[in-house]
Amino acid sequence: MKFIFALLLGAVLVSCGQTYSEGDKSDFDTEISRFIARKNLKMTKLKSGLYVEYLQEGAGDEKATFTSQVSLDYKGTLLNGIVVDQTEPGKPLVLRVNQLIAGFQEALLDQKKGAKMRVIIPPNLGYGDKDLEKIPPNSILYFEIEVQDLH
């Protein structure tokens, strides 16, 4: 099973009601904070629990909305560095924002063509406790993303 397919299903799977306690979320934050310190990143935690670092602002007037179709180049890893998926050079992923997992949706909203960012997605904004081919249950995901185009 290709991870891109899993990315599409993510929003459906996570919306099935997986919830986490405040203790679980605190544990995720601790693990994420250690990763950020180890990698010397300058990330900001949003209210939802998503961590972002915007590396480059996009250009143009068009901003991504929930129903926008976006072309993305990305690389996704677990915090231990294992690559779970990435786009091939010259072959961006093309999807609507609302087809992506919650963490991707939040990171992409209002972004413009050319935007570059890093995001850390805790399980509650990712795939939750689902056991996917390359992603174990309750995984924290790290992505480097570039918005190639908006349609």
CA dihedral 7, 13, 14, 17 (to 10 degrees): 180
Percent of the chain with pLDDT over 70: 88
The CB density around residue 150, as the number of other CB atoms within 10 Å, is 21
Query: Which amino acid does the sequence have at 64?
Result: A
Strand partners, 38: none
| Average pLDDT of every residue of the chain | 90
For residue 20, pLDDT over 60 is answered with: yes
pLDDT at 129: 93
Q: What is the mean pLDDT of residues 133-137?
A: 93
CATH of 3-150, one of 3.40.1280.10, 3.10.50.40, 3.30.310.10, 3.30.930.10: 3.10.50.40
* 141 neighbors 82 (Cβ within 8 angstroms): no
Q: Which two tokens stand for residue 134?
A: 């390359």
For residue 100, pLDDT over 90 is answered with: yes
For residue 124, pLDDT over 80 is answered with: yes
Question: Band of the pLDDT at 19, cuts 50, 70, 90?
Answer: confident
